[in-house]
């Protein structure tokens, strides 16, 4: 029994398991997850930019690069730890005649966290200015090390929803890590362009946050052993993205005529 549990942990933590590489559905999951990671990582880029802006001019490019590198490492480390916890399938206690395992608890609390954070961010986008709070948290001309420490702490907070989203969408940790590497690499190269695009089209960010509510609901259902097929989630996300792209195109054409 112990050997089987150890084998399950090893299988879940196998970053080099690419048996999915010939499966079209897995590549759809990678692409969908990459898009979500990039859009949801915009806040991370914004906060990093605000903190890096407190550095001397010559240190800013290095600070931005290291900040995004820390974000990537934080996500991968959290993926490893959460995937290990999710391999704990031994019932811990029973709630309303329903046995709950360590994996179930991670899924349920992770889903609740996604719904809470998404709702709060939607509210802040409409009513508040969280960036202003962070802007005043670091003095002008702050030391490089102090800024990096604050970026590292912020990365943990911002990585939680990203990691839980990945766990809610795919099963293979190698898919999750691949999506994280691609998305963070993309942000390192196109951080400013992506940030400007989302700033011009805030509905894209709202749509991504709405996806998190959907994924959070699916996680809670899975935690109570009511699993929503991933295909339904991918179709919903794909359809919504297609509609949003049509809306953006229509808005661009209307602006060009006026």
Total count of domains within the chain:
1
Q: Quick check: is 147 in a domain?
A: yes
For every residue of 31-47, which 3-state class applies, written as one string? HHHHHHHHHHCHHHHHH
- Kindly state the tokens that stand for 87: 């391999």
Q: Which residues pair with 98 in a beta bridge?
A: 95
Q: Quick check: is 12 in a domain?
A: no
* Of the candidates 68, 125, 67, 98, the residue with the CA atom closest to the CA atom of residue 222: 98
| DSSP 3-state of 101 | strand
For 54-138, where are the E strands, in sequence order?
91-95, 98-101
Q: Which domain holds residue 162?
A: 2-6+22-247
Q: Quick check: is 258 in a domain?
A: no
- d(CA 237, CA 232) in angstroms, rounded, equals 9
Distance of CA 117 to the CA centre of its chain: 12
The alpha carbon dihedral of 35, 65, 68, 124 has a sign of negative
Q: Write the burial class of residue 162 (CB in 10 Å: 0-12 exposed, 13-18 middle, 19+ buried).
A: buried
Q: Quick check: is 31 in a domain?
A: yes
Q: Write down the residue that tokens 């709202």 correspond to.
A: 206
Q: Quick check: is 256 in a domain?
A: no
Q: Quick check: is 109 in a domain?
A: yes
Q: Quick check: is 204 in a domain?
A: yes
- pLDDT digits (tens), the chain, 258 positions: 334 444 444 444 555 667 778 888 788 888 888 887 777 676 667 667 667 767 787 887 788 788 878 877 887 787 777 767 667 777 888 877 778 887 788 778 878 887 887 888 788 777 765 444 444 444 444 577 877 877 777 677 667 667 777 777 777 778 888 888 888 888 777 766 766 677 677 887 788 788 878 888 888 888 888 878 777 877 887 888 889 889 988 888 888 877
Q: Quick check: is 252 in a domain?
A: no
């Amino acid at each position: 029994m112990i050997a089987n549990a150890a084998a399950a942990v090893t299988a879940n933590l196998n970053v080099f398991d690419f048996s999915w590489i010939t499966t079209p559905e897995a590549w759809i999951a990678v692409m969908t997850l990459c898009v979500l990671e990039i859009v949801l990582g915009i806040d991370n880029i914004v906060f990093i930019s605000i903190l890096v802006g407190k550095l001397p001019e010559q240190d800013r490019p290095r600070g931005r690069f290291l900040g995004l590198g820390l974000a990537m490492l934080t996500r991968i480390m959290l993926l490893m730890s959460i995937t290990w916890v999710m391999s704990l399938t031994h019932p811990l206690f029973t709630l309303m005649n329903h046995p709950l395992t360590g994996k179930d608890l991670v899924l349920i609390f992770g889903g609740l966290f996604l719904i809470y954070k998404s709702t709060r961010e939607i509210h802040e986008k409409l009513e508040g200015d969280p960036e202003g709070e962070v802007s005043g948290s670091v003095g002008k001309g702050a030391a490089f090390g102090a800024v990096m420490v604050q970026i590292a702490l912020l990365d943990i907070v911002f990585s939680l929803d990203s990691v839980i989203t990945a766990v809610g969408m795919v099963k293979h940790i190698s898919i999750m890590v691949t999506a994280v590497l691609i998305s963070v690499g993309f942000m390192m190269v196109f951080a400013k362009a992506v940030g400007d695009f989302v700033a011009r089209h805030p509905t894209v960010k709202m749509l991504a946050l709405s996806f998190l509510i959907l994924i959070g609901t699916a996680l809670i259902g899975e935690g109570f052993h009511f699993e929503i097929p991933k295909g339904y989630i991918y179709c919903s996300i794909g359809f919504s993205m297609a509609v949003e792209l049509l809306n953006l195109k229509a808005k661009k054409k209307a602006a060009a005529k006026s």
